[in-house]
Every structure is written in C-alpha cells, then in structure tokens.
Amino acid sequence: MPARTRVTASLLSLLPLLPLLPLLPLLPLAAAGAADGIPGSSPAAFEDVQSHGGGYRVVQWEWTYVQTPYVIAVWLLVASVAKILFHLSQRFTTVVPESCLLILLGLALGGLVLLASERQPYQLEPALFFLFLLPTIVGDAGYFMPARLFFDNLGAILTYAVAGTLWNAFCTGFGLHAAKLMGLIDERVQAGMMDFLLFGALISAVDPVAVLAVFEEVHVNDTLFIIVFGESLLNDAVTVVLYKVYISFVEVGVENVQTADYFKGIASFLVVSVGGTLVGLVFAVLLSFLTRFTKRVRIIEPLFVFLMVYLAYLTAELFSLSSILSMTFCGIGANKYVEANISQKSRTTVKYTMKTLASIAETLIFIFLGISAVDKSKWAWDTGLVACTLVFIFIFRAAGVVAQTWVLNRFRLVPLEKMDQVVMSYGGLRGAVAFALVVLLDDKRVKAKDYFVATTIVVVFFTVMFQGLTIKPLVKWLKVPRSTSRKPTINEEIHERAFDHILTAVEDIAGLQGYHHWRDKWEQFDKNHLSKLLLRKSVYRKSELWEAYQKINIRDAISLIDQGGNVLTSARLSLPSMTSGASFPDAANVTNYLRENGSGVCLDLQVIHNIPGGKVEEDMETHHFLAENLYKPRRRYQSHYSRHFISAGAKERQDREVFQRNMKSRMETVKSGRPKRHKKERNAKKRRGSEDKAGRSGGQRGKDPVGVPLGSDEDEDQGERSDPEKEEDVGITFVAVKAETPKRRPHSVAADAHLPWKGVGVLWPPPCVSLEATKVIPVDLQQAWNQSISSLESVSLPRHEGGRAPRPISYTPPGGPVSPPPEEDEEEDETRPLVPSLKAALKPPPPRVYLRSLVTAPPPPGSEDPCARGPTQL
Amino acid sequence: MGIWQSLSGPPEYRQLAEKTGFTCEQIGVLHKRFKQLSHNEDTLRREHFNAIHDLGCNPIRVQIIEAFFDRRNLIPPDEGRMEEIHLEDFVVVMSHFKPPPLSMTDEQRDSVRTEKLKFLFNMHDMDNDGTITLEEYRHVVEELLSRSAHISKEAADSIADAAMLEVAAISMGHMEPDEFYEGITFEHFLKLLNSFEIEAKMNVRFLNMNASTVCY
C-alpha cells in the first residue's frame, strides 16, 4: 500500500512540527499530495485495523469528507493563535503593528508551503475576499461607525474619497505612462495608457482594512481618524467604477472608445454610488423595522442584524453597485434604531460577534497577503515600475491632500492643521482590496498583469509594513492630538446636546440655512416619522440625552462592580444636611454615586429600597429573608434550559448575591458607625430612579394605586414578568433590574403614592429648593431619603425569630393616624400595608417641617434607631 | 487702509466690523436679515423672534432669545435686559458665534474660550446673580428634554441633580461638612467644561457673500 505508507510517512514527518500550530494547514496539503498517488483513493485506515485484513474498520480516515471545513477551521485557529503569540509581548506589539506581524507570518507560512509543494494552494482568492472577508470588516466598521462624527465631517470625507481618489488614479496612471514613455519602465512591461490608468485606479484607493488595522493602534484624534477611514470606505464607488470602466475600455481597445462612453462612465459612477447607498439605506430601514418585532425571539435578534447587513452587501454586489457603500450606510443607518430595539444582551452579542468576525477576517487577510506574495509564478519584477509606482502614489497622495485641504479649510469651521495633513498623506495605506482587484485582472487582455501583481504586492507591503510601522512614531513626533478615551461627564453631555440646539437657533435667527439647520430638520423628521416607524413603542419615547445618561449610569455601575463595589469609600463627601463636624469615613465620590443612584438603573439594595416606609414587617421579613438566603428564595427562576429564552444565569445570580452581601456589609458598617446621611441619599436617589422608571413603564399603575396588585404573591410576579411592555433587559450586570424590578415595581409605585414627598410634586409644581441647606438635594429628595432610610433601618433591625419585629414608630403613615379600614381583617396580611397608604394618598401631604428638623437636628450618635427614624416623624 | 474704507460702505458697518470682527459683507447679510425679521423697523422685539418659524420647535428657544436681549452679552458688558435691540446689539450677540481665526496663539484661544463660555454661562444664569443655581440648571435640562415629551419631569430633574453634584465634585473637591454647594460660578463653569472644545463647537458659518447685500 504505497499510498498509505506515504500518507503515514508524510504525517509522521509533520508530527514533530505539529506543536507549531501555524503548520497545521500544511497537513491537508501533504495529505493531498500523498493522495495524488492513487486517483480516487479510498479512505485510509489505521494500522491496527488493517491487521485484521480489511474487515470492518473501527476508525476511518475520512479526509475528503471533512477537508474543506477542516482546513477553514484550522486556518482560523492558526490566525487566532498567531494573535495570542503576538500579544505575549506587550512591548513588542506596541511598536510593531499587528498587521505587519501577520504579513510576516504569512510570508513564513508561504515559504513553508512553497517548500512542501510546487504550487501555492492557499492564496487570497478574490471571491473569498470579496464575498466573505471584506464584508465582515466593512460590516463591523459601518455598524459601529460613529454616525454623528461621520456626518459632521461628511463634506471632507466625500471630497477626499471622490476628488482625491480620482486625482490619485489619474495622476498615477498618467505618471506611469509618462515614465514608460521616458523609458524608466522596462520594455517587457507591455502596457499602454489604458493599462496604466487601470492600474492607477486600483492602486490609488486607500484601503479600509489596512487603514483600520493601522489607525486603530495609533489613536489619532477622532476627526482625523474619521476622515481617513471614511475616505477609505467611500472611495469604493470610485474605485469600482474606474476599474470597470477601464476594464471595458481595455477590452474594446482605446481606439474604439467613443465620447459617449466617457459620459456613460460618469453616469455609471452616479448609479453605482447613489445606488449602493440607496440599497444600504433600504436594508437599514428593513432591518430596523424587523427588529421592532423580535421581542419574542430575542435569541435570534443578532442574527437579523448580521443577515440584513450582509444581504445589503450581497444585493449591492448583485446589481454591481458599490457594495461597500451599501453595507456602510446600512450599518450607519440601522445602528441607532437597532440598538434601541434589541435587548442589551443582543447588543452585546452583536458587538462581540462583529468584532470577532472582523478581527479574524483581518487576520486572515494579512496572513493570506503574506502567503500570496510567496509564489514564484507571480514574480515579474520590474524595478522601474515598482519604484515609479511607490513614488507616484506617495507624491500624488500628499499633493492631493494638501490641495484639497486648502480648499476644504475655506469652508471648515475647524480647519485641518498641517500635522493632520501629514498624517493623512502618510496614512494613505493600500491593501487587500487593491490586491484582490489586481488578481482579478484577465492576463489575456492585460498583458502586464504579472508585473502589476508584483508591484501591487510591493506597494501593499510597503504601505502596510513600512508606513504602518513608522506612522506611530511620526504621530508622536508631530504631536498630533490623540484621541482621549475619557468618559464625557454628565455636564459635557448636557452641553453637547445644548449646543446642537443653540447653534440651530442661532442659524435660524441669522437666517442661515446651514449645517445645523438641516441637521435639526432631519432630527425633526426622524423624531416625527422615522422613529415612530422604526422604533418600538416602548423605546421611542426616550430622548437621546436620557439615553446618554442611562449609558453613563450603566457604565459607572459596571465599573463600580469591577471595583468590588468600593467606589463609595474612595472619597469624602459632605452634604449640606450632614451633621456638622461629622465627616464620613466612607463617604462617596459624589459623581460616581450620584450617577449610580440618580438613575433609573436600580443598582443595589433592591432588597431594601423597594420597601416603602409604611409597610408592615412581614414584607420586610420576607425581603430580608430573601436577601440572606438568595439560593432558597420563594421566587422561581424560569425554566432551566430553553433554546429560545435565556434565563437569569447562575453567574448573574452569583453576582447579585455578591453584590448584595457587599451592600449589606456596607450597610452594617454605616449603621454601627455614623449617621446614615449619605446612605439616605443613595436610597433617596435610588428610590427616585426606580420611581422614574416605574413612572415611565408603569405610569398607569402609579397613578391609580387601587389597581396595584396588592400581594407579593409569586404568581403575580410571574404574571408581571411576562408583561409585554416591560423591557426585561435594562441592566446587564445588575439583575436587580432585569428580573426583579418587574416584581417589585408595583409595590414601590403603590407605596410611593402615599409617601408625602410623592405628593410634593403635585402640590408644589416647581420642586422647591429649600432656602439654605438643601441647595443640592431638593426637598422631595430629602424626604424620599428619609423614607428610605427608615426602611433601611427597619430592615436591619434585629428580628424576632418567628415573630414580628416590634413596629417602629416611623411606620405610622405620615399622613397621620389612620384608622384601620374595615376590610383589613379580611385581606391577606401582605395587603395590609397598602390600605393605609391609599388613605394617606388621599390626604394632603403634611407640612414639610421635618426637612428642617433633619437638617438642624442631627441625630445624636449612639442612639441610632430613633434618630435615624426621626426625620420621618412629623 | 484706503481700499478697505472705500469698500466698507456705510460707516456704521465699518464701526461694527471693527467692534465685532465680522467682515462688512457679513454685517450686510446680517443687516438684511435684521430688516427681514423686524419688518424694516429699526428695532427687534421679542415677538419678532418668536415669529421665526424654524425656531418654534427649538427646546431652548426662550433662552436663546433672551440672550439677545441681555446686556451682559454686549460689548462692553452691562447689566439688565433690554426690551428691544438695534442692529448693533444684534450683530454683537451674533459675533459670539463667529468662528475663531484659523491660527490662534494659546492666549487667543483662551480668550475666545472664555468669551464663548461667558455667553453660555449668561444664558444659563437667568437671574444674573453670577451663579447657575440648581433651579436654573434644572430648568435648562428640563427644556432640553422637553422635546421628547415622554420624559418625566422627575427624570429631567434627576439628571440635573446628578449633573449638579458632579459639578460640586469637580469644582469643590472636598467640602467641609457644613458647606453646601450654592451653584455654579463662572470659575467653576470654566473648570467644568475644561476639556470641552467650545472654541471648535460654538461656531456658525456666516455667509460672506450675498449678491444684494455686498456693501460697496
């Protein structure tokens, strides 16, 4: 069995190399080479099976069956492991961009492949590149494109993408032709003017893959990045059209080209670019509309995003429109609505999957570029051509950038500085798109194809490796402003929004129909029509500022958890209402805690803050019990396994418990040590947040306390959970919101209704800021604060096992003594607290004296319980 | 200078151009708009502003309009409010939105920043007491959110409160126990928006040319 032994031999010869994972792809190659020995060779069996004389084979070698997916998987593995290896050395990768390393790896692998076999089986196939690798990168780039930044700079981006690319293409083409005529390029390069123009067209376009790979590591400022990157995406239309036009010209011959054909070329440019954009936008609308209705199929939400974005690409390709434009605009257009519609988890999934795919595609592209370069059949070197091309693309790029920037700066409010221009010129990287296009050329028509391929490879390698390597030091040396990853503060967010309106107003007053005017018009249209169509009812009400605020909250919340919940101890805080002379050992960094608490994202202490001040002990007991024994709650978690729904995972429960323990211990320390002022504020804020939330999502119930489900029965809760209008995905980390708020919300809403501070808003239309002490914390917050602190206190009271805790004084409903309504006895115990509250809600809120008393009469240290409750007493 | 003067036409344009830094073509355009708004009267009143259709749905319309009647935004600054404004006031207020020159020294940049931030500060500080109180700040946030009518007032307030406490944290750092935060003073406002590139943002491109109003 010569074939078998050869297989084994080649396998064995590879075995020592196997730990070197990059070599794995060679295995199929060797196997294939071996299999060539016998045409149609049957699957080879292993030795021990053969000894039985070819009977039933226990283990079979089914290479042909698994070959394709196997090779793909191994390639992905190689690429991924390569990334791990590169990042083993932190210092190394900060100096050398990953793309360079990948190309080098590709070169090495290509060399090995070349040694193993005569031909080069793995290459960057244009079909593979354009249908699979490129869309993943462009899809990621388009979907996560910072839309505002993009449109703010759209003028500049379009100028560079269209005028700049045209200029580069023509100049490079004519320049090369001139060089040919002058004899700088060897006679062997059989190319006429059209060939050079064609080559110029494909070599002149800045490549999105290369730009992304290099600029992501450089971190230049946002404007600069978006201009270079936007250009690299939008120049696709120009490249595609020029490429096609020239190809057809080359095919028919220059002498047969008629004047009309040039106009057709221009028309085709319009069709390709506008058509591509339109296809993208249509798909964006479709996608957004689809995600409106995925509430019940959350699990496949991300798939819709991928499919529609990819279909946008394929559809554009189908009609030979600009597919990159289509995909980019589909991503940009759909992002806002999709992100609002889909759940938080889907958002994360989309993000990670896109980034993973894009990253792996990028890796593969660069490795394949390296491998493709090692192919003897491609090497048709002409020093003149290579040198001229390199010089021309660099010079013309720089000249084009300078000229266009000069024009643009006359119109731009924020001019592009000289340093920016240098970086833009230098950042004009060429990459895999050019390579794939040049490989696609027909060597029967374009005689000099081999020379062009070789030159393209050199250009790509030069720009990606040399320029990519040096751009970082250059940026440092030029002191180009870098991007800061600083989080915007709430105030900056507010002013950012305010500015849009201010500028629009000024333009309107000045009678200018400028950019802001039209942007405002668009936003009006978006709000009045598009959002209504494309957004779910539940999300469409939230404003942008609100969203931004929420995002900040969630982010801070997450960082809070990351730090083990100890942010609050990092700084000292004194608030107006604080006992004079008292300072908190573990008071808070105001920003953090306010943000964390002032929001609708209920972070913590849900055990406590959901208990309204006037509740009977049973509930507290229950909740306290729950808090302590999270793993034997009465609450049932939903089904353990479901393909279509993801229940709250064990991890989340774990997190929650950790968090609650954390909060609890903190609470203990506060309790034992100090007046609970900051605690109170937390709770007040929190409560307020939950109230906002409840006010929005369950406003109906909030207004009508009678309609509130009275019991805390589990079945009720289950019913609540499936309430279709409830978004079950508000918080990602803190399941407090996700799973529990629907349950608790009704209570808090109901109970809130009777709280005195709830009435304040009604009776005192503007939130009254008391004269001195409460400049920062408004009256109603103070009161809420007191309420919640009292509940907090009572929860942490020592309980009487088996019996009810003594009813604290503060549980007298604030509305004054309430005679128990007659029906109380017939009701379940749990409903009792609500009944007085209804009564109380009807009463006018009591005078707000106690606020003062809170401020002026600090609780004497030592006697915590009465004094902490003191504020709530009237 | 002779060419300049011969080009600059009406002397009031020239004075205004010196005062505000607009070119006199731009002033011409603004004058035309002024006349259009005021229906060829000499002064503009609030109702003229309120009649601007596009302004109708702007959430912070009131503040912007008030800014035009605020003497603090004039050169030199003054106190109080006006009932009607002349072309000069109109152009001076507009000049706060003039893009800065292409190349600036650091001092120039700072002065432009301060000037623009002062305008913004005055806009928020409605009662002209030198601080933006919580009340005023809430008002701003509420109005910003008022476009989306579904955000409750409490939500707006809680955002404003959060922002306010953030200000307190940034500007005061450590506060003594019996201290409380009065409101944002201008110094704090500067500090607060330290990294906010207002000189690059608070700009409107004023038309240079308008065939009918070029001032010869």
CA A576 – CA A853 distance, rounded (Å): 13
For residue A259, count other CB atoms closer than 10 A to its CB. 7
List the single range of A205-214, A322-331, A360-369, A742-751 with lowest mean pLDDT. Answer: A742-751
Tell me if B177 and A409 make a contact (CB, 8 A cut-off): no
Query: For residue A214, is pLDDT > 80?
Result: yes
More confident residue, B110 or A8: B110
Tell me if B204 and A772 make a contact (CB, 8 A cut-off): no
B193 touches chain A (CB under 8 A): yes
What average pLDDT does chain B have? 74
Q: What is the mean predicted confidence (pLDDT) over B66-89?
A: 80
Chain A, residues 544-563, CB within 8 A of chain B, namely: 544-546, 549
Q: Which of B180, B189, B205, B208 to mutate to test the interface with A (most CBs of A within 10 A)?
A: B180
Structure tokens at A835: 């009944």
Segment B156-160 long-range contacts (CB within 8 Å, at least 24 positions apart): B157/A767, B157/A778, B158/A598, B158/A599, B158/A685, B158/A688, B158/A689, B158/A692, B159/A490, B159/A494, B159/A545, B159/A546, B159/A549, B159/A598, B160/B134
Query: For residue A157, is pLDDT > 90?
Result: yes
Q: What angle do CA A852, A858, A859 make, to 5 degrees?
A: 125
Largest CA distance in chain A: 109
Q: Which residue has the tokens 């932190």?
A: A90
Chain A, residues 694-733, CB within 8 A of chain B, namely: 695-696
Q: What is the mean predicted confidence (pLDDT) over A339-352?
A: 89
Q: What angle do CA A180, A444, A434 make, to 5 degrees?
A: 65
Q: Interface pTM (ipTM) of the complex?
A: 0.85
Q: Decide: A693 and A741 in contact? Cβ < 8 Å.
A: yes
Chain B, residues 64-83, CB within 8 A of chain A, namely: 64, 68
B141 touches chain A (CB under 8 A): yes
B162 touches chain A (CB under 8 A): yes
CA A805 – CA A795 distance, rounded (Å): 10
What percent of chain B shows pLDDT beyond 70?
79
Q: How far is B43 from chain A (nearest CA, A)?
A: 15
Nearest alpha-carbon partner for B183 in B134, B124, B128, B115: B134
Q: Under DSSP, is residue A714 helix (H, G, I), strand (E, B) or coil?
A: helix
Q: How far is A543 from chain B (nearest CA, A)?
A: 6
Query: For residue A144, is pLDDT > 70?
Result: yes
What per-residue confidence (pLDDT) applies to A327? Answer: 94
The most confident of the ranges A38-52, A357-371, A606-620, A653-667 is A357-371
**DSSP state string for A664-688:** HHHHHHHHHHS--HHHHHHHHHHHH
Count helices and strands in chain B by DSSP H and E runs: 11, 4
B121 touches chain A (CB under 8 A): no
What per-residue confidence (pLDDT) applies to A840? Answer: 41
CA A697 – CA A536 distance, rounded (Å): 13
Query: For residue A634, is pLDDT > 70?
Result: no
Structure tokens at A839: 């009564």
A497 touches chain B (CB under 8 A): yes
CA B81 – CA B92 distance, rounded (Å): 15
Query: For residue A434, is pLDDT > 60?
Result: yes
Q: Classify residue A178 as left (phi > 0), alpha (psi -120 to 50) or beta.
A: alpha
Q: Decide: A350 and A334 in contact? Cβ < 8 Å.
A: no
pLDDT digits (tens, 9 = 90+) for B159-179: 777 777 777 777 666 655 566
List the single range of A108-112, B49-53, B200-204 with lowest mean pLDDT. Answer: B200-204
Q: Decide: A467 and A429 in contact? Cβ < 8 Å.
A: yes
What per-residue confidence (pLDDT) applies to B147? Answer: 60
Instruction: Provide Rg for chain B, Cα atoms.
Output: 20
A574 touches chain B (CB under 8 A): yes
Q: How far apart are the first and last CA of chain B?
A: 15
Q: How far is B157 from chain A (nearest CA, A)?
A: 9
Q: How far is CA A332 from CA A146, A329, A427, in A?
A: 8, 5, 24
Nearest alpha-carbon partner for A694 in A732, A737, A749: A749
Tell me if B181 and A576 make a contact (CB, 8 A cut-off): yes
What percent of chain A shows pLDDT beyond 70?
54
pLDDT digits (tens, 9 = 90+) for A779-827: 444 455 455 445 444 444 444 444 444 444 333 344 444 444 444 344 3
For residue A781, count other CB atoms closer than 10 A to its CB. 25
Burial degree of A847 (CB within 10 A; 0-12, 13-18, 19+) = exposed
Query: For residue A167, is pLDDT > 90?
Result: yes
Q: How far is CA A511 from CA A57, B52, B82, B143, in A?
A: 86, 9, 22, 23
Q: What angle do CA A718, A720, A726 make, to 5 degrees?
A: 130
Nearest alpha-carbon partner for A329 in A346, A312, A354: A312
Q: Under DSSP, is residue A710 helix (H, G, I), strand (E, B) or coil?
A: coil
CA A836 – CA A833 distance, rounded (Å): 6
Who contacts B30 (Cβ-Cβ below 8 Å, separation ≥6)? Answer: A510, B22, B87, B90, B91, B94, B206
More confident residue, A202 or A714: A202
User: Which residues on adjacent β-strands are paired with residue A482?
Assistant: A220
Tell me if A696 and B159 make a contact (CB, 8 A cut-off): no
pLDDT digits (tens, 9 = 90+) for A297-342: 888 889 999 999 999 999 999 998 999 999 999 999 999 889 888 8
What per-residue confidence (pLDDT) applies to A655? Answer: 64
Q: What is the mean predicted confidence (pLDDT) over A454-469?
A: 90
Tell me, what amino acid is at A464?
V
Q: How far is B171 from chain A (nearest CA, A)?
A: 11
What per-residue confidence (pLDDT) applies to B181? Answer: 67
pLDDT digits (tens, 9 = 90+) for A257-305: 778 888 888 898 899 999 999 999 999 999 999 998 888 888 888 999 9
Q: How far is A853 from chain B (nearest CA, A)?
A: 15
Residues of B in contact with A489 (CB under 8 A): 166, 170, 192
What per-residue confidence (pLDDT) applies to A324? Answer: 92
pLDDT band at residue A190 using 50, 70 and 90 as cut-offs: confident
The most confident of the ranges A21-35, A148-162, A615-629, A757-771 is A148-162
Query: For residue A382, is pLDDT > 50?
Result: yes
Q: Which of B50, B125, B161 to mutate to test the interface with A (most CBs of A within 10 A)?
A: B161
pLDDT band at residue A707 using 50, 70 and 90 as cut-offs: very low
Q: Under DSSP, is residue A874 helix (H, G, I), strand (E, B) or coil?
A: coil
pLDDT band at residue B150 using 50, 70 and 90 as cut-offs: low
Instruction: Provide Rg for chain A, Cα atoms.
Output: 34
pLDDT digits (tens, 9 = 90+) for A820-853: 444 434 434 443 444 344 444 444 443 333 333 3
What percent of chain B shows pLDDT beyond 90?
0
Tell me if A549 and B159 make a contact (CB, 8 A cut-off): yes
pLDDT band at residue A174 using 50, 70 and 90 as cut-offs: very high
More confident residue, A649 or A510: A510
CA A813 – CA A758 distance, rounded (Å): 13
CA A485 – CA A206 distance, rounded (Å): 26
B28 touches chain A (CB under 8 A): no
Query: For residue A724, is pLDDT > 90?
Result: no
Tell me if A503 and B204 make a contact (CB, 8 A cut-off): yes
Tell me if B166 and A409 make a contact (CB, 8 A cut-off): no
Please report which helix (H) or strand (E) contains residue A85, including its range: helix A63-86
